[in-house]
Amino acid sequence: DQQVKQNSPSLSVQEGRISILNCDYTNSMFDYFLWYKKYPAEGPTFLISISSIKDKNEDGRFTVFLNKSAKHLSLHIVPSQPGDSAVYFCAARETGNQFYFGTGTSLTVIP
């Protein structure tokens, strides 16, 4: 049972534009969320997190939005750069339990 879903396997965006990656979850008890970026042959790299007491968190070009009522979070990358091309994973957990990961979205930023 996939508790965290990333329904878009891939996304292409022009350099300089905004990239929006989406993630849906089913467990309303999830209270901490992460985004990771993964390049081929490397482990995932932590990008940004958000706890359920917030609805937005920013770090430079990366902003994560959390909509608890819709059980939806999104990652915005502005402006997108070619080096952002990678697979992006969202993850969620309920305090005390394991992280559940989505299947990933492959982002391609076109120069």
Residues that bind other proteins (CB under 8 A): 6, 31-32, 34, 36, 41-46, 49, 51, 89, 91, 93, 95-104
Show the DSSP H helices in the chain as ranges.
Answer: none
**Closest separation in Å from C-beta 42 to other proteins:** 6
Beta carbon nearer to other proteins, 9 or 82: 9
76, 63 in Cβ contact below 8 A? yes
> What gap in Å lies between CA 42 and CA 1, rounded to an integer?
27
Q: How far is CA 44 from CA 14, 15, 28, 38, 87, in A?
A: 24, 23, 25, 4, 9
Task: Kindly tell me which of 46 and 56 has the beta carbon lying closer to other proteins.
Answer: 46
* CB 57, min distance to other proteins, A: 12
69/98 with CB nearer other proteins:
98
